[in-house]
Amino acid sequence: MRRSSDVPVQPHAVTVAEVIPGDLVALSEQDVAENTWYVVMHTLPETPHTIRLTLRPPLGGIDHDEVFERGHQVTTACRRMDVGAIPEITSTDLDPVEFRDGDRVTSLRAVDPRAVEESYTRRWGHWYRDLDRRAEDPVPDEELRDLTEQATQKGHVVRHYPRPRRAAEAYVPRRVVVTGLGAVTPLGVGVEELWRGLVEGRCGISELEGEEFAELPVRVAGSVPVDPVGLLPRPQARRMNRSAQFAVLAAREAWQDAGLDPAGTTEGGLAPERVGVSVGAILGDASVLVGGDRKLRDKGPRAVSPLTTPMTVPSQAASQVSLALHITGEARTVTSACASGTEAIGQAIDRIRYGRVDVALAGGAEAVVTPAIMASFAAMRALSTHELGSTSPSRPFASDRDGFVNGEGAGFLLLEAEEHARARGARVYCEAAGWGLSADAHHMAAPDPSGSGVALALRRAVHDAGAHVVDVVHVNAHATATVDGDLAEASALRAVLGGSVPVTALKGHLGHLQGAAGGVEAVATVLTLHHGLIPPTIGCDEQDEAIDLAVVTKSPRRLPALGDLALSNSFGFGGHNAVLALRRTG
């Protein structure tokens, strides 16, 4: 449809006898005031004293005739238009139209040369002016019909454009689904313990015991309450650091939860080379290197175990998971600070999408609740100084938040190509729809206060999922309970999603699990979609007014009905930003 917003209008009074085809005219002073103009398509003498004008709206429409005395004055815009370029169109009758999501309806005040076309797109049974902004409430079908009928009566041209057919593509990336979950967290071992604790609002943070922690200024952390060594065959456990032990336990749970043979790939009928592992970790387990150094100083080089080096590298978790389940496709490790777990899942999504593997165990694992790490964080003034009490010392989005609580654990998703999962009759939790990355490029530790980098990662995740902002029903926030970090994330969420999307933050329950945070919080987000229930944020007894988000507190809340996308955020020191997009199915 033609737009003529650049048409200059310079009103000038003339007689009807002076106008010629192509003139842009207003028929009265009121029409001039209301920007109601017509193009003269034809002129025809009606009688010796009258002239018939055939008129059409300048932006297109249907013709109508007006008969005037030759001396009758009209107003010309002093603008000649090409009559052949003005389309003859009629409004679409929307009454018989059966609307579908993806349809578009436009309304244009065609008599105004400088009018801007209004456009509505249907999504989730409602009509939005902009699918990627939440500036106003959507309009239901009947209200749109009423609005367009009123617009037609006022001279608007209303058009309906059915949902476009999808163009054939040379290669369509495969759809990726989540079929298994596993977790080891401060709330206990297993996904069931994690979910129950989140929904009940339990805090897994505890006082650190042992003389090595006695002199530290902060002695609370999110420690796993069970020794993982007792849950693994002892010969295997001795060759793993604590982080790898967590990883193997969580990965095995996800593997079995997906209905796969606990003995591994070959025994379960899977091709080992078509399965991969992707693990996020910052350090893995710093205690092994510290212990080796202590033995070197106290007893000399012969006392240092030959396992010190292989048990120190951050990649040990990925290698031990591949060993435990005989996975030979690939074993990848991602190290991007506290965004590591989420980025590891994102990379696994792409490896499946583009056919590199069919199945992947992806998540994060970390075990850095050690005296040196705790002392370092305390020296940075990054740790919360709140003590254990009636509420969590980790207080995301709260007005009295003062820092994060260090934690440990592991969380894994079992990802599969959809056709692979359907072929074996697997239960599907949700779709792993997309992910987004960005970098703040602002400071080695502090977040960019504008939140612009976070906003970019959010938009990229939504776009990668083939979705729109209006599809987002929930955000699992990174929200470490640092003053500046929570504000930056909140600013980004408001800029991209507005302030009405329900948000939850889980670090009041768990502490900050570092490289494992993205994996565990992805598990929680999958469960939120699966159960249709958002766990509450604990520790946020009084929300900071500057946050200005719909933070879920006190008790669980049902997911909104309109939309299908949930986002899980992870951000790390140095400006690493990663966002995972998950879509509910069924």
Q: Which residue numbers are catalytic? A: 338, 478, 512
Q: Where are the alpha helices (DSSP H) in 415-516?
A: 418-423, 452-464, 483-497, 507-510
577: β partners = 438, 571
Q: What is the SS3 assignment for 8-37?
A: CCCCEEEEHHHCCCCEEEECCHHHHHCCCC
State the Cα–Cα distance between residues 224 and 369, nearest whole angstrom: 10
Element (H, E) at 289: helix 287-299
CA triplet 489, 386, 335: central angle to 5 degrees?
45
Is 539 in contact with 386 (CB distance < 8 Å)? no
Residue type, 87: P
Is 268 in contact with 338 (CB distance < 8 Å)? no
Give the chain's length.
586
Q: How many CA atoms lie within 13 A of 97 on its CB side?
A: 20
Element (H, E) at 518: helix 517-531
CA triplet 326, 328, 332: central angle to 5 degrees?
110
120: β partners = 105
Q: 451: helix, coil or strand?
A: coil
Q: Where are the alpha helices (DSSP H) in 12-139?
A: 29-33
How far, in whole angstroms, is CA 523 from its chain's centroid?
Answer: 15
What DSSP character marks residue 562?
S
Cβ neighbour number for residue 126 with a 10 Å cutoff: 18
Residue type, 71: G
Residue reference for tokens 């159960």:
531
State the Cα–Cα distance between residues 481 and 512, nearest whole angstrom: 9
> Encoding tokens for residue 270?
């899977």
State the Cα–Cα distance between residues 261 and 118, nearest whole angstrom: 56
Cβ neighbour number for residue 174 with a 10 Å cutoff: 17
Euclidean distance between the first and the last CA atom of the chain, given in angstroms as a whole number: 38
State the Cα–Cα distance between residues 279 and 342, nearest whole angstrom: 9
State the Cα–Cα distance between residues 56 and 41, nearest whole angstrom: 7
Extended beta strands in 209-329, E state: 220-221, 275-280
Is 429 in contact with 245 (CB distance < 8 Å)? no
State the Cα–Cα distance between residues 473 and 558, nearest whole angstrom: 10
